[in-house]
Amino acid sequence: MAVEDRQQRDVTSVAPPQRSNADPQRAGAVPSVTPFRSFEQPSAPRPPSATYAALDLGTNNCRLLIARPAQHGFRVVDAFSRIVRLGEGLAASSRLADAAMDRAVEALKICRGKMANRGVTRARLVTTEACRAATNGLEFIRRVAAEAELALEVIDQRTEAALAVSGCAALTDPAAESVIVFDIGGGSTEIVWLGGRSEARDPAARIREWASLPIGVVTVAERYGGIEVSRELFERMVDDCAQALAPFAKKAAGAKDSRSFHLLGTSGTVTTVAGIHLDLPRYDRREVDGLWMHQRDILTVIDRLIEMDYAARAANACIGRERADLVLAGCAIFEAIRRAFPSERVRIADRGLREGILLRMMHEDRAWWRRK
């Protein structure tokens, strides 16, 4: 998807899904949940005008969300998203490339300017798999501190999974006793077996099993190529991803036998699939976030993508030139998860790690208590 499209998606206020089986929520706010309890101790209460920022620098994207507390969660006041491909070539060299670091630093400078302009009073700036895996990850963190004047925090895999779950758990079916939640990233895929809402209010407390798989859209595309993808090559991708998924699938095998079981996906891959399914002329998160997709819908989209050549994928408004070589790699991961955990229903979330970070900070600051 083009950068401008992704930015337009993010600056729209985060609103609850207006579809069947969605929880009743106030329009324009992300549902309030009790986020994962870990990290530093809660800070002192902030004034009502507090403005929060969550930044996620991943293997492929740099994404910022700035928000203020609202009665039922928070309202987005500004956002930014740019594809930087920080992990480009990482699998082969074990190092972050100079050009990739340059792109990321420039994006981070824009984020710093947005935070300053919006008067952000508390922020959490995290980076994930690329910096975890790179031998020069610490060197890059120091460069960001010197040039962009931002202190990035390298979070571990468990933390990443728990925050992503906290950010999208409100979209699980209230009747579901088990849900498989997955976040397909650039360098890794976080996957969680989540118990039903009756088990605990805190989504992180309902995590039964979790794993961080060493497969992402960038790593799979670099291994197999993403320009020309035949059906045979796609199936090889799926088989490779299935092998990486197998240990978790064995541990979480009981999930699919639970009442009202379904999948919940949060990533650029699943939101792209949803946008193509809806034939959107331009990506619109209000149409995608909270959408229920059925098995036949997903298979139809994947078949369409395999039949497209690279130019057709690049021309699609929900993919764009910057993702055209990555989308089928993401679909291969998606398909491996669907085959391991068969479900007629998949819910699509255009929310996740950043939303989880924001909710946790606001919870620590007792932001909603002060608004009563």
Amino acid, res. 35: P
Q: Quick one: pLDDT at residue 366? A: 87
Q: What is the pLDDT of residue 43?
A: 52
Q: Using CA atoms, how far apart are residues 339 and 256, in angstroms rounded to an integer?
A: 11
Q: What is the pLDDT of residue 219?
A: 94
How far apart CA 372 and CA 364 sit, in angstroms, is 16
Predicted confidence at residue 44, as pLDDT, reads 52
pLDDT computed for residue 368 by the predictor: 78
Looking up tokens 């895929």, which residue turns up? 189
- Provide the pLDDT for residue 367: 85
Give me the average pLDDT of each 10-residue run along the chain (372 residues).
36 36 32 32 56 96 95 90 94 95 98 97 96 96 97 94 94 97 95 95 94 95 94 98 98 96 95 97 94 97 97 95 95 98 97 95 84 50
Question: Are the beta carbons of 64 and 107 closer than 8 angstroms?
Answer: no
Burial 219-248 (b: 16+ CB within 10 A, else e): bbbbebebeebeeebbeebbebbbebbeeb
Please give the pLDDT value at position 72.
74
> What are the structure tokens assigned to 307, written together?
């039949």
Strands 122-127 and 153-154: parallel
Among residues 50, 108, 48, 113, which one has the least CA distance to residue 81? 108
Please state, in angstroms and rounded to a whole number, the distance separating the CA atoms of residues 331 and 226: 11
